[in-house]
Structure 1
Amino acid sequence: MKAYLFLAVLGALVAGACSQHDPALYAPLSNIPSPGEGFETAYFFPEHASLQFPAGDTIEIIAGLHSGSSETYNISAIFGSLNNHLAFSQYFYNFTPTAYQRSIRPGEEVSLSYSFWIPYNFPAREFQVALTAFYTSEGSYHASTFFNKTIDVVEKPKWVDLQLIFLYLLLVAAIGGLGYLAYSYVISLGYFRKQKSKRTPKRAASGTASTSSPDEWLKGTNFAQGNKPPRKSASKGDVRKASPIRGVVAPDN
């Protein structure tokens, strides 16, 4: 708020100072007087020699003013504007004027610093910038435009470009979507099939051994009984000793 108030007061002071010399200077850029005799100008930009002006930055220009005649010129102010580079009569923005009370004697030269500011909302494209110095000489009113060229308004560099990051994410998502569609199409053609998993037999738990006999399932059957030799009952007094020779019975003692 203080900055806007300061600019408004400065503009009023410049308009008041200029009005003491010429009432037409209330609208200086729409009624520019002729240059003074022998009045020469030059300029240079300390930081923007390429004429690329970032939107939102303060641009400084050094105006070199020289009196090549026998007259003394009194510098009143410098005005500037941002115009259409295709139609100069179309104004987009008027820069804040700066008042000067400097005299240039014959053969002398002065350097004046002038700064202007391009708003943030201006698009990045070409514009025409015109900067004019207003001065007087023995009751005559003059003006010389020391800069009038096409410039490029560019975006101010950002540490993090959110739009660029969004574009990268969108590109990655598009590539992933195309890859998924291609994979689904290949699967539908039958080039890749899922293999069925083979069932593996369950193994008995380690440490548990079967104690059952292989012939246990034959218990209680005739087959089991037939395999066993019949047991002979021996009575007392009729005990015969088996001879080692098969079929021979040992005599009784």
Structure 2
Amino acid sequence: MIELNFTDFVVRAQEDDTDDDVDVEGEETGVTDEGGEEEEAVEKPTGSPDADTIILFTKPAVAPGTNLELPAGDLVEFLVGFRNKGPEDFVLETLDASFRYPMDFNFYIQNFSTLAYERPVKPGQEATLSYSFIPAEAFAGRPFGLSINLRYRDLNGRQFYEGVYNETVNIVEIDEGLDGETFFLYVLLGACVVLLLVVGQQFLYSVGKKRVGGGGGGTTHKRHVETGTANHNDVDYEWLPKETLQSLSE
């Protein structure tokens, strides 16, 4: 395993909008059919026995041994580590990536830019190359073959073409969750609820004030208080005993 040095220079590739094939030595370019697929004879990767390569996906981060899932319409980044364990210098020339038909890697689905590095690597040294691309959103929910290839040479001019990654990957749709429009709608609904509460409170306060103050110009009703019988001459005392009447008259 090669330890990737993230401080080495980084080059990011942009998606090739023209989807044109890049002519490289040893590859045969086929004819594009009506569906946009391009058939090309796949060159068998032949790397140097004096070199080791490793790939590490940094966005999205993928644990070793798990299936690779790439987000449609989002940036994908990976690092390619190269170690020269031979006695001669190597020159890292190009790095390219493409989507292939998963059942037959001879058919191209989407090409990405081929980056030229021309980076020398001396014996016993290591180098790290960075590459990025964006899968098309229309590919969401479908599997594709991802082919990543590194081309390099030695000082004698011998060319080496090594397949760093050739596996089937799944293109998944991004779950964005709460977007800006939905968040704004929730904020607007919350403001409407608060406004209704304030209006209701003011209405209840005004109604209660009118009831307590009589409305400001209404008729004031006097409170009726029972005072009992004021005229004692209308009381019948005949049923009382004489002793009681005498005591009352005293």
| Cα distance in 2 between the residues matched to 1:128 and 1:8 | 19
1:142 to 141, 160, 163: 160
| Cα distance in 1 between the residues matched to 2:41 and 2:78 | 19
Tell me the equivalent position of 1:101. Answer: 118
> Could you list the runs of 5+ residues in structure 2 that have no partner in the other structure?
1-13, 30-39, 63-67, 180-250
Tell me the equivalent position of 1:49. Answer: 61
| Cα distance in 2 between the residues matched to 1:108 and 1:26 | 33
Deviations 1:71-116 (A, max 9, x none): 2110111011111222222221111111102111111111110112
> Are the equivalent residues in 2 in contact too, given 1:77–1:134 (CA < 8 A)?
yes
Q: Identity of aligned pairs, percent?
A: 26
* 2:57 paired with 1:40: no
Larger RCO, structure (CA 8 Å, separation 6 or more): 2
Where 1:121 maps in the other structure, the secondary structure is: helix
How much does 1:33 deviate?
A: 5.7
TM-score by length of 2: 0.52
> Are the equivalent residues in 1 in contact too, given 2:52–2:84 (CA < 8 A)?
yes
Greater alpha carbon shift after TM alignment, 25-34 vs 91-100: 25-34
| Cα distance in 2 between the residues matched to 1:86 and 1:33 | 18
Which one-letter code corresponds to 2:137 in the other structure?
Answer: Y
TM-score by length of 1: 0.51
Tell me the equivalent position of 1:158. Answer: 176
| Cα distance in 2 between the residues matched to 1:129 and 1:153 | 11
Which one-letter code corresponds to 1:114 in the other structure?
Answer: Y
* 2:100 paired with 1:83: yes
Corresponding pairs, count = 149
> Are the equivalent residues in 2 in contact too, given 1:74–1:103 (CA < 8 A)?
yes
Deviations 1:106-149 (A, max 9, x none): 11111110112211111312221110110111111111111122
Tell me the equivalent position of 2:88. Answer: 71
| Cα distance in 1 between the residues matched to 2:85 and 2:98 | 27
Which of the two has greater helix per residue? 1
Shift of the 122–8 alpha-carbon distance from structure 1 to 2, 3 Å rule, reads closer
Deviations 1:22-51 (A, max 9, x none): 744685984456212321101111122332
**Superposition RMSD in Å:** 3.0
Shift of the 6–145 alpha-carbon distance from structure 1 to 2, 3 Å rule, reads closer
